[in-house]
A and B are shown apart, each in its own frame.
Chain A
Amino acid sequence: MNWRLINWQSQYRTLAVLASIVIGLIAINFMPVEQQAIAGWLVATTLQMATPLVLAGLGGMYSERGGIVNIGLEGIMLMGAFTGAAVAYYAKDPWLGLLGAVMVGGLFASIHGVACVKYKGNHIVSGTGIILFGTGLSTLLLELVWHQKGQGEPVTNTVPDLMFPALLDHPFLGPAFSVISPIVLFMFIITGVSWFVLFRTPFGLRLRAAGEDPSTLDSAGVSVQWTRFIGVVISGCLAGLGGAYLSIGFGSAFAKEMTSGRGFISLAAMIFGNWTPFGVLAAGLFFGFLISMNYFIQIYFPILLPFANFIAMLPYVLVIIALGLIRKSVPPKAIAIPYEKEKKG
């Protein structure tokens, strides 16, 4: 591997992140025991809240790196959440549920892909259609499967958590990491894998080329349509998984419109993370932290409760500040532009 290709700045950034994690852990270690427990709880909640955001955000990144805007993540997540719950409910197997969610997510995204890539539709219009369709269909199917309005029956076979009994006694690591969902771990793995795929493999190179300048990719003899389409399908698979985490990983039932805007926050995380895997991870964790702060104040600082709405606003405000004032994010150049081969005439 050629290390010279990695620019130095990003290495410094990695070092800084690692250093702050270490310093944070040391600092926590010196805190009183009960505060360590609270910190551990906060970390665990942050990870739970961040997982769907990061998964869907990474999905959005695959799509947008290839040049297709996917604002339909919200609808795809809902369908993923429903499918996960429904399959786990019927088949009594959470893993089949996750598989189903991934497949349905990919299928839904492929509708978006066909509309945008093959038929050169407007990405945002088509994405809006996916949101409406996904929201409507998941609610309709909810009534059909469980004959209930609003919320489905609880699923008993949810994704089992991983236990690390060795950590249980530690005041901080115990509440933080002793019981952890495999999907949370998968989030970290898939982030690394995404970095590798995007920056080290032929597919990633082609995907980035499709998003920057599709005509160059075309003249290099690679099908722009397929490259972009696969990017969109991957985005749907990840968003579907993110949705399923809500219904059978973290929760244990499907509820009407249970994603409540997470698809949009994950888009924000993607932009905040500058369309890079680790950026999306960091932004997703940060937004997850902000959401978990909401629970935190409910339990530990009820005095601040009146301002819960403002804390919920923070991710959105931060994105606007970041875009409006800092203005660092540079989206792929050919984003949202359908690729037309024969331009003349």
Chain B
Amino acid sequence: MSVTQNPDVEDTSDNSSELIARIEEYYKGVIAKLTGEEFTNQFYWSIGSVLLALVVSAVIMVMAGYNPGVAFVWLSYGAITKLDQVLWYASPLILTGLSVALAFRCGLFNIGAEGQLFMGSMASALLAYLFAFPIVVHPILCLAVGVLAGAGYGFLAGLLKAYRGAHEVVTTMMLSYIAILFTSWLVSQNGPFWDGSMVPRTPQFYDTALLPVIFGNYLHLGFIIALMAVFGVDYLINKTVLGYEMRAVGHNIDAAENAGIDSKKKVAIALGISGGLSGLAGSTEIIGTFDRFTANWSAGLGWDGITVAVLGNNNPFGVLAAALFFGALKAGSNTMQVIAHVPAEMIKVIQGLVVLFVAAPRIISWLVDHSQTAKDAVEKEPAKALPWVLAALFGLSSVFIALGTARNIMVLPTLTPMVLVSILILVLVALTGILVFVTEFTHDPRGSFLLLIIAVGWLEAGIAFYVGSGTIEVTSLIMSAISFLFWFALNFLAKGTIEEGEGS
């Protein structure tokens, strides 16, 4: 990186060279952080979570009768060709993600970003249609008011937390619902800001208030604001006294108080700033994308902020990357829905799975560790270790096969109660398959017992299907035979090793 920087340094005059040196140093710091072990680990975890989530959602798609390959191709095609949409979707997510991440660095879980966003956007909307201002001043004022409204709303939860001990997860969540109900009342036909139409919404904004589109059909200035916010939040957290104190409170409130930091004030301020960022997200969207405030306009931008912050590990640049990823998913989902006919709801499923896998990073370290052990064991003593690994893979594949079979049976025209029972058994078989995978992969002795269960399960499913429909289901019988084979092989082998162990 420094190679590309050097020509710039030579071109500039001496006065600014110091500044540029500082910028370069900052740059190097960022690079060092990016290549540091902690960050790369986190990076692998995030990528791993995303990949696992994609695999599981592919399984769900297969189950639902879609072609995951086609879906993913069109998903990525859509994301790549509609870059402006990707960035457009990402910009509010960056801001709400930063909002949640900043609170989290102070040890607070702001899950009410949605409410702060509504309050911020409402305030901006009022300024945007009630008052006329010159062209540049108007949006700036709108944004400022939006930030203040969001900050005030976050600050309220902060005060309750700091001085009354009310847990912020509960209060921000409740405040969120209050904000949604309150703003939708404001613009409803009973509220003061209704435009008189059939829809609960405000009148149109003045043109002067709107943010200009900067690229493509959708992307407005809000994206640049969001980018600036990324750097701003990074600077605030890592380089300022306020950020230091907020982090100290977040990590160890007793030590922070002992060091003379007013933890209550910091908690309230942190939730205030966090709310301000959410408010900014609402403002940029309402005067960038929309031209009036409609009740319930945000379909969960605040909730997605939690997801983004989690995936970005509460690091501002991580948040940026995660928001871009989710923006890409959203932009691509339209193409996916139109061409591959996979409903856009699939995206929500993928997001949920990503968050679940991120929530438990140890799943990935578990997989990595045991794969390594299994690999070593196979290399050392292939005769002993290979059957275990194969059994584990068998367990995993029987999950897919069982679910696939269940789906095939489900679409058959003959749905007798016994067939339903066989579907139920197949689902249970799939669950057992997961357990088989886990136990065999970790060389747990209970694995062989589970193999027996899964063998019987497959057999029962086959019998139930035969009784129910009168036809023979081949897959389950074959799978049952394979499971019995594995069970025999492993039990025999296990006994062999035990005897060997006792002999020595």
Contacts and interface: CB of A to CB of B under 8 A. Distances in A.
A and B touch in the complex (CB under 8 A): yes
Interface of A: 69, 71, 75, 90-91, 107, 111, 114-116, 118-122, 124-126, 128-137, 139-141, 143-144, 261, 264, 267-268, 271, 305-307, 309-310, 312-313, 316-317, 319-320, 323-325, 327, 331
B177 A132 contact: no
Contacts of A111: 356
B237 interface: no
Given A125-B310, A316-B175, A320-B175, A305 B190 contact: yes
Given A119-B363, A313-B182, A140 B343 contact: yes
26 contacts: A75-B352, A91-B420, A115-B356, A119-B361, A125-B310, A125-B358, A128-B111, A128-B306, A128-B310, A134-B352, A136-B349, A137-B352, A139-B343, A140-B64, A140-B349, A143-B345, A267-B173, A268-B174, A305-B190, A313-B182, A316-B175, A316-B177, A319-B170, A323-B171, A324-B171, A327-B165
A86 B185 CA distance: 35
Q: 5 closest Cβ contacts across the A-B interface?
A: A136-B348, A133-B352, A306-B190, A132-B352, A129-B355
B353 interface: yes
A258 B322 CA distance: 29
Contacts of B366: 119
Contacts of B306: 125, 128
A313 B184 CA distance: 12
Contacts of A125: 306, 310, 355, 358-359
Contacts of B361: 119, 121
Contacts of B193: none
A109 to B, nearest CB: 13
B315 interface: no
Contacts of B174: 264, 268, 316-317, 319-320
Contacts of A139: 343, 345, 348
Given A316-B175, A324-B171, A327-B165, A114 B349 contact: no
A120 B360 CA distance: 6
A136 B53 CA distance: 14
Given A264-B173, A267-B173, A313-B181, 6 more contacts: A111-B356, A124-B111, A128-B303, A129-B354, A320-B160, A320-B175
Nearest to A326: B164
Contacts of B171: 320, 323-324
B415 A90 contact: yes
Contacts of A309: 181-182, 184-185, 188
A121 B361 CA distance: 7
Interface in B61-110: 64-65, 109
Contacts of B362: 119-121
A124 B169 contact: yes
B178 interface: yes
B167 interface: yes
Nearest to A140: B345
Given A126-B359, A144-B65, A131 B352 contact: yes
Contacts of B353: 129, 133
A135 B352 CA distance: 9
A290 B40 CA distance: 51
Interface string B410-443: 0000010100100000000001000000000000
Contact of A271 (B170, B343, B345, B417): B170
- B177, B360, B363 interface centre (most CB from chain A within 10 Å): B360
Interface in B154-188: 160, 164-167, 169-171, 173-175, 177-178, 181-182, 184-185, 188
Nearest to B61: A140
Interface string B351-390: 1111111111111001000000000000000000000000
Which secondary structure characterizes the binding site on chain A?
helix
Interface in B311-368: 343, 345-363, 366
B359 A129 contact: yes
A306 B181 CA distance: 12
B142 to A, nearest CB: 25
A323 B60 contact: no
B116 interface: no
Interface in B224-241: none
A136 B306 CA distance: 16
A135 B417 contact: no
B307 interface: yes
A223 B71 CA distance: 44
Given A115-B360, A140-B64, A319-B174, A128 B355 contact: yes
Contacts of A114: 360
Contacts of B175: 316, 320
A126 B181 contact: no
A181 to B, nearest CB: 25
A140 B164 contact: no
A267 B361 CA distance: 26
A136 to B, nearest CB: 3
Nearest to B186: A309
A319 B354 CA distance: 31
Contacts of B431: 107
Contacts of B190: 305-307
Contacts of A119: 360-363, 366
Contacts of A267: 170, 173
A264 B177 contact: yes
Nearest to B191: A306
Interface in B447-485: none
B352 A129 contact: yes
A127 B355 CA distance: 9
A122 B306 CA distance: 13
A140 B363 CA distance: 26
A126 B190 CA distance: 39
A97 to B, nearest CB: 12
A304 B137 CA distance: 41
A126 B415 CA distance: 36
A320 B185 CA distance: 20
Contacts of B354: 129
Contacts of A319: 170, 174
A12 B199 CA distance: 52
Contact of A126 (B164, B169, B182, B356): B356
A132 B348 contact: yes
B107 to A, nearest CB: 12
A119 B366 CA distance: 9
B459 to A, nearest CB: 22
Contacts of B167: 323, 331
Contacts of A128: 111, 303, 306-307, 310, 355, 359
Interface string B108-143: 010100000000000000000000000000000000
A206 B88 CA distance: 51
Nearest to A126: B359
B166 A136 contact: no
Contacts of A312: 181
B347 A136 contact: yes
A10 B346 CA distance: 49
A279 B177 CA distance: 23
B360 A121 contact: yes
Contacts of A137: 60, 345, 349, 352
A91 B416 CA distance: 9
Contacts of A118: 360
A3 to B, nearest CB: 34
